[in-house]
A and B are shown apart, each in its own frame.
Chain A
Amino acid sequence: MTSSPDLRIERLLRELAPQVLGAVVRRFRDFAASEDAVQEALIAAATQWPRDGVPDNPRGWLIHVALRRMTDHVRSEVSRRNRETVVAAETPVAVAPALSSELEFGPDDTLILVFMCCHPALSSSSAIALTLRAVGGLTTAEIAKAFLVPESTMAQRISRAKQTIKRSRAPFRLPDAGERARRLSSVLHVLYLVFSEGYTTTSGPALQRADLSNEAIRLTRAVHELLPDDGEVAGLLALMLLTDARRAARTGPGGELIPLDEQDRTLWDAQAIAEGVALVSAALRQGSVGEYQLQAAIAAVHDEAARAEDTDWPQILALYSVLKRMSDNPMVALNHAIAAAMVHGPHAGLDLLTPLDDDERLSGHHRLDAVRAHLLERAGDRAAAVSLYRSAAEKTTSVPERNYLLMRAARLSEAP
């Protein structure tokens, strides 16, 4: 696929955004103001480059412009303080460094920024917004559009997030070894949430949100390049690729959901599947098995079946059994029951669902009713299946999902 010059510039800017921010924060230590300055530099580039051409040293250009903005910012801060007759010596102000074209650039800058933006002190929604802007190089308007909120709301969310980072006094360096694993797991969680937001579309029209999934894949790929030996990072990237590979097949012409076993598998993205399979296989060979790797391995088994009936369900069941021992997540238990039903028949699956009735995390959740309805349908108990499909439809908060469940119930109740 060939891309237009504008699209190439956009990609270049997103790639350079965290590198430029790293260089500026390193100089000025003030993350919030640096981030604003870099955002202004990116916007300047997005308007000037398509008109005047991309400069010879695009990173140097951006750093130069961002530093100039920072210098202006520092100057106005100084004069504001002077006006307020605060003793200037009390709080030293960072002095603007001389503008040189060769500025220090740390290879770990992007990684440091990711850790910073996914700081545990932030709520998930703030961490997501900040990561997309500071690391992903998206504008506030783009992020607002993707999350279907007004731009002023998103601007405020990002600014609050930056204040939280400031208060946490997180230094601009990688977390130390002891903290690394815990911090990495919140990074992966944030990236996973960005991906699912784009993929499952909890609200709003589906189309414009695909970009979020692509952005999550791009960012996870960047983290994987920086931490190539981490099995869970590779596992998450593989999981995203293997899930996203089915995008074209998972909705019909009217935006309706098409379940995995009814999808036209020729529409799946073979290249993404090959890459995902290779990634997860390599990660699993390295030994330390984690939840993302297992989920990716399960997605790989699905993706490798040319037809739904060729799916290696015994292998999927085995993988879910391992995952269930590692994770307390009731959604894993639900999927385990589905796999058991595919291998040992619907009644085996239904038996595994019984203990989940007492799980408070699932009470009022539509998934338990939906899965039970599917298994009852397979077991031939049509009336019970119809009533559970409808109860699941009334509980879900996703319109495409509700429509799918309602259609399933209607079709089943009207079948001769």
Chain B
Amino acid sequence: MKFMLMMNTPRDGYTQYMSWPKKVLEANIAFMIDFSKKLSAAGELVSKEGLASPLQAKLVRAGKDGKPITDGVFPESKEFLAGYWIVDVDGPERAYQIAAEASAAPGIGDAPLWIEVREIMRSHKDLK
């Protein structure tokens, strides 16, 4: 079963991250590198990506002529996707374990982050 583990950040999360103390930053970076290595070595990691800051994010839709109309992100958005892992595991329990581990990445908040866990639907490809 495949799951997507999504790490969300509050609106100002990126800007806050930019000013973390050196020690915390170093610990966070080392944790992320190590975490991916472990998942990969266990044969559970399908893919993972980190997203660039929402500073550059745009909302896009087609105009009447089909050409893109762009806008900044909605000012009322409270949270942004910061990155995700896709894992292939036996069941949801293992996905929750991995998510809990990711949520405990070193940072400056008092509580671990919430990680959103969603099962990925099987596609035609998987039926073969």
Chain A interface residues (CB < 8 Å from chain B): 254-255, 364, 390-391, 393-397, 399, 403, 406-407, 409-411, 413-414
- For A390, the chain B residues whose CB sits under 8 A away are 15, 18-19
Q: How far is the CB of B107 from chain A (nearest CB, A)?
A: 14
Q: Contact between A394 and B25 (Cβ–Cβ < 8 Å)?
A: no
Name the interface residues of B5-58: CB closer than 8 Å to any CB of A: 14-15, 18-22, 25-26, 29-30, 33, 50, 52-53, 55-56
Q: Contact between B56 and A364 (Cβ–Cβ < 8 Å)?
A: yes
For the complex, give the distance between the alpha carbons of A403 and B53 in Å: 14
Q: Contact between B21 and A395 (Cβ–Cβ < 8 Å)?
A: no
Q: Contact between B18 and A403 (Cβ–Cβ < 8 Å)?
A: no
- For B53, the chain A residues whose CB sits under 8 A away are 394-395
Q: Contact between B56 and A406 (Cβ–Cβ < 8 Å)?
A: no
Q: Contact between A406 and B30 (Cβ–Cβ < 8 Å)?
A: no
- For B22, the chain A residues whose CB sits under 8 A away are 407, 410-411, 414
Chain B: residues with Cβ within 8 Å of the partner, total of 17
Q: List 23 A-B contacts (CB under 8 A).
A: A254-B30, A254-B33, A364-B56, A390-B18, A391-B18, A394-B14, A394-B15, A394-B18, A394-B55, A395-B53, A395-B55, A395-B56, A396-B52, A397-B52, A403-B25, A406-B25, A409-B18, A410-B22, A410-B25, A411-B22, A413-B19, A414-B21, A414-B22
- State the majority secondary structure of interface residues on A: helix
Q: Contact between A255 and B25 (Cβ–Cβ < 8 Å)?
A: no
For the complex, give the distance between the alpha carbons of A391 and B14 in Å: 10
Given contacts A390-B18, A395-B55, A406-B20, 10 further A-B contacts (CB under 8 A): A364-B55, A364-B56, A390-B19, A394-B14, A394-B18, A406-B18, A407-B25, A407-B26, A410-B22, A410-B25
Q: Which 10 A-B pairs have the closest CB atoms?
A: A410-B22, A390-B18, A397-B52, A394-B53, A393-B18, A394-B18, A403-B29, A406-B25, A414-B22, A410-B25
A-B contact count (CB 8 A): 40
- For B26, the chain A residues whose CB sits under 8 A away are 407
Q: Which of chain A's residues has its CB closest to B20's CB? A: A410
Q: How far is the CB of B24 from chain A (nearest CB, A)?
A: 9
Query: Using an 8 Å CB-CB cutoff, how does the interface string of B98-111 with A read, 1 for contact, 0 for none?
Result: 00000000000000
- For A254, the chain B residues whose CB sits under 8 A away are 29-30, 33
Most chain A C-beta atoms within 10 Å of own C-beta, residue among B18, B30, B50, B53: B18
For the complex, give the distance between the alpha carbons of A74 and B127 in Å: 34
For the complex, give the distance between the alpha carbons of A140 and B52 in Å: 29
- For A406, the chain B residues whose CB sits under 8 A away are 18, 20, 25
For the complex, give the distance between the alpha carbons of A87 and B25 in Å: 71
For the complex, give the distance between the alpha carbons of A411 and B19 in Å: 11
Most chain A C-beta atoms within 10 Å of own C-beta, residue among B20, B22, B25, B53: B22
For the complex, give the distance between the alpha carbons of A414 and B21 in Å: 8
For the complex, give the distance between the alpha carbons of A364 and B56 in Å: 8
- For A391, the chain B residues whose CB sits under 8 A away are 18
Q: Which of chain A's residues has its CB closest to B14's CB? A: A394
For the complex, give the distance between the alpha carbons of A364 and B55 in Å: 9
Q: How far is the CB of A364 from chain B (nearest CB, A)?
A: 7
For the complex, give the distance between the alpha carbons of A393 and B29 in Å: 14
For the complex, give the distance between the alpha carbons of A173 and B55 in Å: 48
